[in-house]
Homo-oligomer: A and B are copies of this chain.
Amino acid sequence: MRMSQSVREAASGRRARVTRDRALRAAVALADEGGLESLTMRSLAQELGVVPMALYKHVANKDDLIDGMVDIIIGEIDPAIAGADWKSAVRERILSARRALLSHPWARAAIESRTRMTPVMLSYMESMIGLFRDGGFSVDLTHHVLHALAGRIWGFTQEVFADPPTSEATEVDPEALAAALQEMASKYPYSHEIAMAIAHDQTSVVGGGCDDQFEFEFALDILLDGFERLHRQGWTSTGRHRGVVGPA
């Protein structure tokens, strides 16, 4: 068990004065440890050895706090490599964003809860757009390409479901697992086929599941290759509401 900031400071007898920056970093640390739902104004205040209301001197409200936390995470994304072609520059940048997001699992939900971008986020988008424009993409194609990338721009893994609650005693009962697979085989044969393929690919059935990094790059590369093809073909959207647009 890690010694909390407040306990440590009480023990050492001093207590650093709260600043916005200190509050934001403590909030990031708290969310890293216990998830976004464990971060409350009250828990953050306790971590800083201060009464909840003291935070409102440094942060307008909880939304403002989360804005600041998001800016810290966006700041961890590597700048684009200079001199590379657009495709590898975009690819590397997005993989860097993914790395940043992966080390802060709460950040996806935090970003998705924002109703508008901070200046830090606007700058990041701006440089991402610049990679395509400098690579010769039209404004039109760049616009749609940004939509197609969507969450990937922010490094979001596209997994849909929430992590199962991290209970300490999460050992899988082998008997129950076998029974579940048996039931799956009869009720959901197609799904079972895939589950078995994944299991076969692993050292054990119990083991981790899918290779998220591979899946992320798989989809990213299909998209990037698609963009490249459309760009080479001189694709334009030529007005809106045309339905299907895929290359013939």
**A22: CB under 8 A from chain B?**
no
Tell me which residues across on chain B come within 8 A of A115, comparing CB atoms.
161-165
Tell me which residues across on chain B come within 8 A of A40, comparing CB atoms.
none
Tell me which residues across on chain B come within 8 A of A194, comparing CB atoms.
129, 139, 142-143, 146
For A52-73 the 0/1 string (1 means CB < 8 A from B) is: 0000000000000000000000
Q: State which residues 79-101 of A face B: CB under 8 Å.
A: none
> Nearest Cβ in chain B — how far from A200, in angstroms?
10
Tell me which residues across on chain B come within 8 A of A148, comparing CB atoms.
215, 218-219, 222
Tell me which residues across on chain B come within 8 A of A162, comparing CB atoms.
112-115
- Cα distance, A191 to B143, chains bound together (Å): 9
For A147-163 the 0/1 string (1 means CB < 8 A from B) is: 11011011010111111
Secondary structure dominating the interface of A: helix
**A102: CB under 8 A from chain B?**
no
Tell me which residues across on chain B come within 8 A of A215, comparing CB atoms.
144, 147-148
**A175: CB under 8 A from chain B?**
no
Q: Point out which of A187, A224, A226, A245 has the most chain B C-beta atoms below 10 A from its C-beta.
A: A226
- Cα distance, A197 to B147, chains bound together (Å): 14
> Nearest Cβ in chain B — how far from A62, in angstroms?
14
* Complex copy number for this chain: 2
**A2: CB under 8 A from chain B?**
no
Could you tell me if A147 and B113 are in contact, using CB atoms closer than 8 angstroms? no
**A125: CB under 8 A from chain B?**
yes
Q: Which of the 9-residue segments A10-18, A27-35, A116-124 touches chain B?
A: A116-124
Tell me which residues across on chain B come within 8 A of A206, comparing CB atoms.
none
Of B153, B189, B214, B245, which contacts A221 at CB under 8 A?
B245
When C-beta atoms are compared, the residue in chain B nearest to A148 turns out to be B219
- Cα distance, A180 to B16, chains bound together (Å): 39
Can you name 16 A-B residue pairings with CB atoms under 8 Å? A112-B160, A113-B162, A115-B162, A115-B165, A129-B190, A129-B193, A143-B194, A144-B215, A146-B194, A147-B218, A150-B159, A214-B240, A217-B243, A221-B245, A221-B246, A223-B223
Query: Which 4 A-B residue pairings sit nearest by Cβ, starting from the closest?
Result: A150-B158, A221-B246, A222-B226, A148-B219
Since A115-B162, A226-B226 are in contact, a sample of 4 more A-B pairs with Cβ atoms closer than 8 Å, ordered by chain A residue number, is: A114-B162, A125-B188, A130-B190, A148-B219
